[in-house]
Structure 1
Amino acid sequence: MTGIVQVLGVIFGVVLIIVGILESFFFRDQRFHRLFLIRPEDTDAVRMWTFNLGFYNMIWGAGAIVGAVMLTGAEPGAGRALLLFTSLGHVLLGIVLVLSERRLWASAIAEALLPAVIVGLLLV
């Protein structure tokens, strides 16, 4: 079971890092405006929050990867705690996302589903 959790944790972390890069560095790209629900004329206004949010996601992603890798290291309990915290955090963030903006329901599912599976596997 640990191997599956590790693979899912790394995938989760990589997805967060990719999303973070898109948020931080590609929010001006019109191909992603629909994803972020922004208009081209608003990119300057949202620059600060998208840039910071992207780095939050990249850091969360790094935490998920480190936690997943630590599961088979010298301190597997620490890895479990880190991956559990990161995953639970994103389950809650997915819920907050859909509650704050219903149009982002697909993004909320994408944000919360894989971490929810990881949480389930870690708690079994």
Structure 2
Amino acid sequence: MAEQDPKTGRFLPGNSGNGGRHKGARNKLHADFIQALLDHFHMRGPAENAAGLPRGQAAIEIVYRENPRDYLKLIASVLPKEYTIEDNRYDDVGDEELREIIDDFRRKAFEREGSQGAGEGASGAKSALN
């Protein structure tokens, strides 16, 4: 038994009491729950599930049809809070080559604008590129 202060009943320094939860117990419970949920999701549904879909997919299909708002909330709830998209296609391109790419794009855009009516778009408005 861990040593305690007889007056206060508090554990003395260096004595942690019962030691708390076993290492990994919370993760094990979480993993077991997720696995049980996954197993239930993939289980074939009852006879009224005419499509013969697994239960989870059938439930999602019902939500999708009967309450699209909840369906979208469900999708949003499983997405990460933050998602970073990195476009590094031009990381290895030097400044001079990048200038050439931009100039080529501008030239093609001006050519396309010119073929539509000398600087005016299909609506007759001036182009933002001019």
Instruction: Give the TM-score normalised by the residue count of structure 1.
Output: 0.27
* Structure with the greater alpha carbon radius of gyration: 2
- Tell me which protein shows more helix as a share of its residues: 1
Higher relative contact order (CA 8 A, sep 6+): 1
